[in-house]
Structure 1
Amino acid sequence: MFDHCPPDYRLYPSWRRHPVALGWFAVRHLDAQLEAMRGSYREVRVALGEDIGPEGVAQVLADLECEGVRLLAARRSAGLLLDALRGLEFVPRL
C-alpha cells in the first residue's frame, strides 16, 4: 500500500500501526490520481496542442492512457485489499 502513497507517508507511525487506515488513504489517493489523469486526458489537446503539435499530443495521450490503465489496476487491488483488511469476504461469481 505504501507504494501507492506519497513517499513521505512511510515516516508516519499511524499508517504502519493501522493498516486499514493506510488502505483507506491509498484508495483515496489513487481515486484522486485517476480523476487528475482523466482531466488531463480531456484537456491535453487544448492545453498543449499549440506547444507540442499533433504528434506530441498523440504521444501524451498514449502515455496518459497507459498510466490510466496502471492506476485502474492499482485502485482495484488496493480496494480489494482494503475490503480484506476490513474483514469482507470475496464471493467468486461465475
Structure 2
Amino acid sequence: MRPPDAPDWEVTAASWLLDLCPPDYRRFAGLRRHVVVLARFAVLHVEAQQLATRRGLSEIRGDLKDVAEQAVVEAAVQTFQLEDARLLGVRREVGLVEDALRGRRYRVRM
C-alpha cells in the first residue's frame, strides 16, 4: 500500500482493506466508493477475529481434552496464540489506515 497523500494511495488502501475482509465485501460498491467506511468495516472485522481467537484460546483445552492427545491440544493452543499475536498487529495497521483516511497524520519523532 502506498503511503497517505501519495497518488492513488486510497485505491491501494481499499485493495489492502478488502483483502483483510470477507470476500463478500467486494460485491458492495459503497465500500469501494467510501474507503473510510470500508476501513471501519475492516476494523470491526479484525476485532471480531480477535474475539473469536481469544475465545478459542480460552476454550480449546477443555474442548479437545477428550478427543485429542495432549501434544495436539498444545499445538492448537500455540496456533491460537500465534494468530492472536498476528491479529494484534493487523488491528494496529488497520486502525492507522482508518486514521489516515480520516485525515489524521503522524510525524516521526526522534
| TM class by smaller structure | over 0.9
- Which amino acid is 1:56 matched to? V
TM-score under structure 1 length normalisation = 0.93
Query: RMSD over aligned Cα, in angstroms?
Result: 1.1
Aligned ranges 1:25-64 → 2 under 5 Å:
25-64=41-80
- In the TM superposition, residue 3 of structure 1 has moved relative to its aligned partner by 1.2
Q: Which runs of 4+ in 1 moved over 6 A?
A: none
TM-score under structure 2 length normalisation = 0.80
State the number of aligned residues.
Answer: 94
Unaligned runs of 5+ in 1: none
1:75 to 91, 95, 98: 91
Alignment pair present for 1:5 and 2:21: yes
Unaligned runs of 5+ in 2: 1-16
- In the TM superposition, residue 53 of structure 1 has moved relative to its aligned partner by 2.0
Deviation per residue, 1:63-92 (Å, 9 max, x gap): 111111111111110000000000112244
In the other structure, the counterpart of 1:20 is: 36
Decide which structure has greater helix share.
1
Larger RCO, structures 1/2 (Cα 8 Å, 6+ apart) = 1
Identity %: 40
- Which amino acid is 1:13 matched to? A
Residues in 1 aligned to 2:32 and 2:67: alpha-carbon distance in whole angstroms: 44
